[in-house]
Chain A
């Protein structure tokens, strides 16, 4: 049976090959579909070292044997993985000549979020002249980092400049065997960030993709790897509050974090990919694998996420607490509106002694959306004195949306202390009317309630990001009440 399958796949690969696209190395776009030749093509395009190509191929072969998971509480039509381009030349495809051609609804949102005009163009995919300011800021930024020995560059660049680090750490936290989407990402990943903070260095600024020179459209299969060596600290920001246009419906990113002894990584995300229209048409499928390894003792990894975009969100930023006394944190606000679906949460795997984890999850559902928290707390046999605290709250707007909580608990050590609290509340018409009667409009009333509700998570974001995230929550809920 397997042999038959392989033969079919081989034939398929060959038939693709017959059309000779691989020889045409100058081509900007790989033909649709996925096979070993496409992977060789991607790797060749990026001039990758042999170890990486081998790794990609192993991932691909493994992926072929896997089945797409269906346990999440999300529904979507089957994805035809052979109907996707897995390589496009890394440049911005500018869809529009000027802002006049962009959907006015999107422009209105930009305005509400207070995004500068040039930035609006970049986000909407309008051709922009080089913005000299931001380039020079980014250059200064890079020089400062280099002085401290911090490496911050696209992973495609790190493959050439620091192959030993990439080879050592890539797939060390999320192996390609981990899950279907991680395997797919490993086989075809386009680009992403690479960060290495040397021993004892405290990174003085927030690292964000915004300042990564040559950060081109790498949204679809992004791969990020962050290593904090002993005693170091780094805070990394991913995404932005502005709604991002992307032609690719399927996104499958992988993020790996490694914190050595006494090191700390703070990873913040604001995800606002296109959620589809009010009728639920279009929108990004966001299937992400994010995991951090607290490798050394006293290390700490903290995930903070504000998820408002995408038609489907499937992500569980997790911590493997291997080092003794290591700490994992997960702070999340997931907002769904209209027809959005989110199945998100975390996994805290306690392996070392006296490891601690804290989970604060705030789900907000509006419209006809579905919002699930799914979390695992696992205390292994050797994790003496492990502690976990989980708080999972759901807030409902209206009565057509859903909120679900799926906590999983596996405790194999008697000394562990695990606490779980959960609440569900509803923004009722009575509450809105009460606030209206105090002179507050319905939209502001919803914002007031949602900000109060999400405060604990928003407070964990870097200050400027928090302000933007608050605005984003309000804008995302506009028109959802009354």
Chain B
């Protein structure tokens, strides 16, 4: 059974339909990339999957773990194992990274009928995952994303992803605004998390990221529809020919 199954998904924001019927299946262990020009609906797809308020699904269905995703509030989708790495992570003054991640980890554990992590296990887990994305301990005591550089914010997203261990991670333009070193760190972090039983949906505008996070499938989103799908070579072809090639 597919982990994520999207059928004829149509969605609008402010009375404007952005997604005009998306079909996509992701199986456990697969990494899918969604590419497309600006305004094609890539981020809208990520937002609709995560349940961001303001987006209205007008048609179609989405099943996640065999459950109707569209009926779940955003926090339940997260607890079911969906993680969104935000394109623009927000700053949350007064709430430390550690505090946020502790609440999140324990909420998700509670949903799975597990006891909260004890302080010792939590700290060793934090140390391990922080090392993976090369972030300093002191960074964890700071308020969430407050005063972080663009690269630090993205690394923080991947750190949280590592802590929450999702079954499906949606990366919304995680490469945007990253220099090559930061890109490498972020991509390495993601690659270390790839297993047979989890899946990734990598949304990106550029092929560059896919040199580091090599996808199993590449889909091209254009004007709210997936117009072309293929293997990882498709990304290279796109890079070479540009999006105009698709538009014909």
Q: A interface vs B, CB < 8 Å?
A: 423, 425, 428-431, 433-442, 444, 448-449, 452-453, 455
Contacts and interface: CB of A to CB of B under 8 A. Distances in A.
A441 B79 CA distance: 10
B75 A452 contact: no
B143 A452 contact: yes
A433 B53 contact: yes
A452 B84 contact: no
Nearest to A482: B53
B74 A437 contact: yes
B95 A444 contact: no
B107 A428 contact: no
Given A448-B99, A448-B103, A452-B99, A438 B78 contact: yes
Contacts, number: 74
Contacts of A449: 92, 94-95
Contacts of A429: 53
13 contacts: A433-B52, A433-B53, A435-B104, A436-B74, A436-B78, A437-B78, A438-B100, A438-B104, A439-B75, A452-B99, A452-B143, A453-B93, A455-B94
Nearest to B108: A439
Given A431-B90, A448-B100, A436 B95 contact: no
Interface in B47-72: 50-53
Contacts of A425: 93
B73 interface: yes
Interface of chain A, main secondary structure: helix
B164 interface: yes
Contact of A439 (B86, B92, B94, B107): B107
B116 interface: no
B191 to A, nearest CB: 22
Nearest to A455: B94
A22 to B, nearest CB: 57
Given A431-B90, A453-B93, A455-B94, A439 B73 contact: no
B111 interface: yes
B89 interface: yes
B92 A434 contact: yes
B160 interface: yes
Contacts of B107: 438-441, 444
A69 B171 CA distance: 58
B96 interface: yes
A440 B84 CA distance: 14
Interface in B73-125: 73-75, 77-79, 83-84, 86, 89-90, 92-96, 99-101, 103-104, 107-108, 111
A452 B160 contact: no
Contacts of B108: 439
Contact of A436 (B75, B94, B99): B75
B75 A441 contact: yes
A425 B96 CA distance: 16
A367 B95 CA distance: 22
Given A448-B99, A448-B103, A437 B94 contact: no
A450 to B, nearest CB: 8
